Structure 1
């Protein structure tokens, strides 16, 4: 695919990238004690040929650490760890955004550090289980957030964004998808509040829009992206009558913020491509398409040819192929992902996948 648009440079008002390929954010659970470390720096620098790297989800507070061994960025030690990673990526010529992820009700008490608690828009337990040091456990019951909690959480997001810029990142992505805290506010199943943060479409979008605006004000809209998963039912999100109206309204309102990009995640084959493309045309800035495009390069090529504002993010193939860009260019065979080492501590299945050059020896 040497003449592929995927591999050509991309330029917009907010992004200047070496190609149209974005490494999608993927939880890998290597941050022992929630602190970024040296093998994480190695992991990201091995993938610097992506036009843009978006990190795994990074918690803005103790309350957002619902999974074991995921990183955070609220302490000085964590900022120092991330600074090493951002510097290492930049030294290799890469660009990297940090994704801010608060798990909200997708959490278990055993995974939270001392002082952390499970919170959500309503006291409604998420279905399913969470992996803990004691094995799989049902997700905990969240405490319904007060208005003071909402303001404090938004401030934590803002401080996390500031910390990311201090650590040297090119920008941040707000994770408002996949059933995590911002998505929980959008969802009628998880959010049954009776105040201005629940009920109507406008009210359920309020937390996401306010948080995004505050972050953009703090670090610059050009350094602020957001990821959403329209119609997605992952992590207990539900399909409801107003869901199309909700996402149409959300994207229309995001338009006025002049963000770096909108990241559209397709969480299942049941989500129509046509609807995501409709939302993309509604948005007036850069749009990153995710979900299926990385597995079907001809599909990725077609979406890129539709609009010069579009990028494609690729997930799992980047896990097992650190030199994925070269493999795309040469149409080379890809390493398969070892699902048994996706979330284990240590180097195995993280920085041990061979490059194409090593495979051919």
Structure 2
């Protein structure tokens, strides 16, 4: 550790639901865009994740639950047998290295291009409101497409996509799954009144706007059991199209979190501030107050260094901490933090795309 006088249990074993973890440091899901167009993991990805098995918990990069759910080229999937077999190679490698890994189930909703959708269709969303920004396709960066609003009778099919992906995650040997209800993707688009203008049972009131996240969570819990399911929330992040926050963050997410308690989930993974950005919060938003509403284990994420993690753990504000970008260039991040060894910094150009360079060629420190 950086200071022998500092006492912390971040490096000690813990349990979240049925997940028995070697420490309280998680590897956050990191999109690295190193897959072919079929989204099938292979030996390169198995090596990458196994190198980082020193994390108490690896949360695998966001994984498309269906072809419809895809919003970026070169991202992995979990909807067919070939993808399952590829992920099995990854989970076997992580387990052989002594690690635990869960899959993050992802549907991007409106943040996609018709170039990425089956038969060139429009992306789907709670409402036909176009996102800002561009996404990456095989032809390079293109503006996101105008989405179409899902019909009410289509929503059971969306839930089924999550359920089948959860089943596939079991077949692939994961230790659990995380429901991705964050970063302004599909489930978060339903939650926020800025992107949900529906008038059916999935729109309007807070109860209606949070309904899909709760129904998806229930479907996934029915496959895995509650003690191997987590959920990710990001109440104020503007990602995926510069999406405005909900007009009443505290009421909306407060209601959602209290409803999630009935599932007795393994953990809640919370983005504290804007994903990959500032920890600053809008006026009137108190994320610690929202955290206090959750009955289970809590993983804090966003802008953490070891000092902040130790402090918030000592205050009882977090049960574990998720690091993202530091894991890119430091496969042995946990050991470096424990020993007080300096961290390597990956250049941004190595984040996305390419092969082994900038991905699996980062060395461990000399201990």
TM-score range, shorter chain: over 0.9
- TM-score normalised by the chain length of structure 2: 0.93
Encode CA deviations 1:94-150: one digit per residue, 9 max, x unaligned. 000000111111111223354765111111110111122323211111111012221
User: Which residue of 2 is the match for residue 242 of structure 1?
Assistant: 248
Deviations 1:259-310 (A, max 9, x none): 11101012232227982221222111011000112xx211101121233971
Contact 1:192 1:199 in 2 (8 A): yes
> Which among 22, 29, 51 is matched to residue 26 of structure 2?
22
Residue 360 of structure 2 corresponds to which residue in structure 1?
Answer: 351
Distance 2:89 2:107 in 1: 23
Of residues 39, 54, 73 in structure 1, which corresponds to 2:78? Answer: 73
Residue 175 of structure 1 is aligned with which of 174, 177, 180? 180
TM-score by length of 1: 0.94
Match of 1:280 in 2: 291
**Aligned pairs for 1:196-235 within 5 A:** 196-235=201-240
Q: Deviations over 1:160-218 (max 9, x none)?
A: 01110111100000110001100100111211111110111111101101110111112
**Would the aligned equivalents of 1:232 and 1:271 in 2 still touch at CA under 8 Å?**
no
Match of 1:271?
281
Distance 2:159 2:120 in 1: 18
Stretches of 4+ aligned residues off by more than 4 angstroms: 113-117
Q: Are the counterparts in 2 of residues 31 and 71 from structure 1 also a CA contact under 8 Å?
A: yes
User: How far apart, in 2, do the equivalents of 1:29 and 1:35 lie?
Assistant: 12
Whether the 8 Å contact between 2:265 and 2:296 is mirrored in structure 1 is yes
Q: Is 1:257 equivalent to 2:263 in the alignment?
A: yes
Q: Does 1:139 align with 2:165?
A: no
Contact 1:131 1:137 in 2 (8 A): yes
Deviation at 1:242, TM superposition (A): 2.0
Q: Deviations over 1:30-57 (max 9, x none)?
A: 1212111110100000000000000000
Aligned to 1:301: 310
Distance 1:200 1:312 in 2: 33
Aligned pair 1:328/2:333, yes or no?
no
Is 1:189 aligned to 2:194, yes or no?
yes
- Write 1 or 2 for the structure with the bigger share of helix: 1
- Given that residues 229 and 265 in structure 1 are in contact (C-alpha distance below 8 angstroms), is that contact kept between their aligned partners in structure 2? yes
Of 116-125 and 346-355, more deviation after overlay is shown by: 116-125
Find the aligned partners of 1:250 and 1:184 in 2 and give their Cα distance.
Answer: 14
Distance 1:13 1:300 in 2: 21
Conserved in 2, the CA contact under 8 Å of 1:264 and 1:288? yes
Kept in 2, the 8 Å contact 1:62–1:115? The answer is no
Give SS of 1:6's match.
coil
Return the offset for 1:221: 0.8
Structure 2: how far apart are the matches of 1:128 and 1:71? 22
CA distance in 2, matches of 1:134, 1:345: 15
CA distance in 1, matches of 2:247, 2:112: 27
Contact kept in structure 2, 1:285 and 1:309, CA below 8 Å: no
RMSD: 1.8
8 Å contact from structure 1 (residues 62, 116) kept in 2: no
CA distance in 2, matches of 1:164, 1:12: 19
Aligned to 2:115: 110
1:311 is matched with 320
Q: Which residue of 1 aligns with 2:45?
A: 40
